[in-house]
Amino acid sequence: MFTSANACHTDEEIEALNKMPWLANPLLKFDLPHELNDLRGKESWDRETGRSSKTLAKHPDFRIVLVLMKANTRMNQHRAEGRISIHQLLGKISVRLADQKVDLSAGELLVLDCGVLHDLEALEESAFLLTISWSNGRRNTRGPAEVAADQSFDEDALTRMENEGAADKPLV
């Protein structure tokens, strides 16, 4: 069964979100090894951050990003407004949360709820698919009390991570 491009979102929503509307096509297929080779050839791969990425799918409520990282590089502490999954394709990464560290090897999948503060380190050259899903296609729909509680969580989580040695190395 094939659904129309308008089944989930209006053309206006898709156009407003994307400068590249084909990222919201109703059918997308990718050759991931080919995409990874392309990422290695991008200017961003040679930059100091040691990573390169490409958005593969982009909808108002859903996004998939292919990320390639060099060994011993990091992504700073951050959080996503939606639920995320990290599907490890190649190599090994370490995801540091406020109260634990999770190592992922090729073939493993990690799911984090919205708002979970984390950072990420590539222990060797690594590639993963990052998927982000927002509820009802809306971002920043929380009220002031929820935002204030979240900011308090941020400060507590950062303090715990610093006490665990996360601040010993600068995050790139």
**The predicted structure's pLDDT at residue 167:** 34
pLDDT, average across residues 27-50: 92
**The predicted structure's pLDDT at residue 30:** 95
- Whether residue 143 is predicted with pLDDT greater than 50 in this model: the reply is no
**Distance (Å, rounded) from C-alpha 50 to C-alpha 114?**
26
**Distance (Å, rounded) from C-alpha 42 to C-alpha 51?**
10
Structure tokens at 38: 């392309």
List, for residues 89-99, the tens digit of each pLDDT value: 999 999 999 89
pLDDT band at 48 (very low <50, low <70, confident <90, very high): confident
φ/ψ of residue 84, rounded to 5: -130, 155
pLDDT band at 4 (very low <50, low <70, confident <90, very high): very low
Kindly list the domain boundaries of the chain, sorted by start residue.
17-168
Q: What pTM, to 2 d.p., does this model score? A: 0.72
Residues 6+ apart with CB under 8 A from 34: none
- Whether residue 165 is predicted with pLDDT greater than 80 in this model: the reply is no
pLDDT, average across residues 147-160: 42
The CATH number of the structural domain formed by 17-168 is 2.60.120.10
pLDDT, average across residues 110-133: 95
Residue-averaged pLDDT of the chain: 77
Residues 6+ apart with CB under 8 A from 95: 86, 101, 102, 103, 104, 110, 118, 119, 120
**Distance (Å, rounded) from C-alpha 63 to C-alpha 75?**
18
Burial of 69 (0-12, 13-18, 19+ CB in 10 A): buried
pLDDT band at 108 (very low <50, low <70, confident <90, very high): very high
**The predicted structure's pLDDT at residue 136:** 63
Structure tokens at 137: 């296609």
More confident residue, 59 or 64: 64
